[in-house]
């Protein structure tokens, strides 16, 4: 039975959305109440509320408010870093938002291919220079796997800045970023409230780093870029349901295990990566097969899954961990496709 503390939204629009890593249940109820009240004050700039939201985030993460900069998601955080630090180093497959923002800003970027899905390539360490900014998500998007601590520490030891996107860290067993802050003034940790707090529609996150670094980034921000509804919702979520990420992760993990089992059992994929996130990466035998499976799920089962091609893995499909019913329906659809392909293969064999 669904945990009563998680609210089930109408399934007419949510049921088949397994392509954006959205939380399959509603956000904290406290945030919803606060947002409704705040809407009546939408004509007023959120001056004091923005300060209180940053202070609330600082308390939640155990840092000083001077170390926190609220942003409109990872996109603004990326822009602030790139405008200040200029040259981007990242990995593929990896989050494409980093290179996309560099291209939009007309700034240089290099992406190095991962030799496997958890270790950074030697070529990256050979190429990185002091004052570069290495941007990675850990756990990685789309692989779902965290990078090794020794690789992340090697980046910091090089003298470069490390922008460590821990959007999915609350679904993993542990994340190193906040533990390392006192050791490295060139470590910038990004924390999103979109996934772990179910607030994706508010587009709010924060960067955490050395206070002097954060002051440099803060000076580049627009006038109160995070809107009133977002900061009010965040304040309420942090004040009244600070354990929401832990409860959500407890809900997601068994469903992630079930999804992983379903993906491996259907026989359609070359490899299914173990995941530490709220999604699972399925690797097909070819890019063409990935497109066919994605098309089948969309057209025949009304299930949307994400192609990993924009992330640098054309034969990959990134599939969000949905609720119990979503995982069950996806499993049935994949098994149906698997049986269909087996029958078609048998028919070909008979004709031969």
Residue 151 has pLDDT above 90, yes or no: yes
Q: Output the CA–CA distances (angstroms, integers) from residue 142 to 75, 89, 149, 320, in the order listed.
A: 17, 17, 19, 11
Per-residue pLDDT, 347 = 36
pTM of the model: 0.92
Q: What is the number of H-type helices and E-type strands within the chain?
A: 13, 12
283 backbone φψ class: left, alpha, beta (φ>0; ψ -120 to 50): beta
* Mean pLDDT within 71-75: 96
Tell me the H-state helices in the chain: 11-14, 29-39, 47-61, 73-85, 97-105, 122-127, 149-157, 177-180, 211-218, 228-240, 244-265, 287-300, 324-351
Other CB atoms within 10 A of residue 324 CB? 14
Do residues 134 and 163 make contact, with C-beta atoms less than 8 angstroms apart? Answer: yes
Indicate the angle between helix axes 324-351 and 287-300, nearest 10 degrees. Answer: 120
- What whole-number distance in Å separates Cα of residue 208 and Cα of residue 164? 10
Q: What is the DSSP letter of 206?
A: E
Confidence of residue 11 (pLDDT cuts 50, 70, 90): very low
* Mean pLDDT within 327-335: 94
Residue 52 has pLDDT above 60, yes or no: yes
75-87 pLDDT, tens per residue? 999 999 999 999 9
Q: Which of 66-70, 329-333, 344-348 has the lowest mean pLDDT?
A: 344-348
Per-residue pLDDT, 239 = 97
Per-residue pLDDT, 349 = 40
């Amino acid at each position: 039975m669904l945990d009563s503390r998680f609210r089930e939204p109408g399934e007419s629009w949510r049921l088949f959305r397994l392509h954006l890593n959205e939380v399959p249940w509603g956000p904290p109820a406290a945030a919803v109440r606060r947002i409704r009240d705040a809407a009546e004050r939408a004509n007023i700039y959120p001056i004091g509320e923005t300060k209180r939201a940053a202070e609330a985030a600082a308390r939640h993460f155990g840092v000083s408010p001077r170390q926190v900069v609220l942003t409109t998601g990872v996109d603004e955080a990326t822009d602030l870093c790139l405008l200040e630090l200029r040259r981007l180093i990242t990995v593929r497959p990896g989050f494409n938002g980093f290179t996309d923002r560099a291209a939009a800003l007309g700034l240089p970027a290099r992406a190095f291919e991962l030799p496997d899905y958890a270790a950074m390539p030697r070529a990256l360490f050979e190429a990185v220079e002091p004052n570069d900014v290495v941007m990675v998500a850990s756990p990685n998007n789309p692989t779902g796997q965290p990078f090794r601590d020794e690789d992340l520490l090697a980046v910091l030891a090089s003298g470069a800045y490390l922008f460590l996107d821990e959007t999915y860290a609350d679904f993993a067993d542990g994340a190193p970023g906040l533990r390392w802050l006192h050791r490295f003034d060139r470590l910038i940790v990004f924390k999103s409230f979109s996934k772990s707090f179910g607030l994706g529609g508010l587009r709010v996150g924060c960067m955490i780093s050395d206070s002097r670094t954060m002051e440099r980034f803060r000076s580049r921000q627009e006038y109160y870029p995070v809107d009133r509804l977002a900061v009010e919702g965040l304040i309420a979520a942090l004040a009244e349901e600070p354990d929401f990420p832990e409860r959500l992760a407890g809900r997601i993990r068994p469903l992630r295990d079930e999804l992983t089992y379903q993906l491996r059992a259907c026989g359609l994929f070359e490899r299914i990566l173990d995941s530490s996130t709220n999604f699972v990466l399925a690797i097909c035998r070819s890019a063409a097969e990935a497109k066919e499976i994605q098309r089948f799920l969309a057209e025949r089962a009304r299930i949307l899954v994400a192609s990993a091609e924009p992330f640098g893995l054309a034969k990959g499909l990134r599939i969000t961990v949905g609720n119990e019913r979503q995982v069950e329906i996806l499993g049935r659809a994949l098994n149906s496709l698997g049986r269909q392909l087996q029958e078609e293969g048998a028919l070909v064999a008979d004709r031969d």
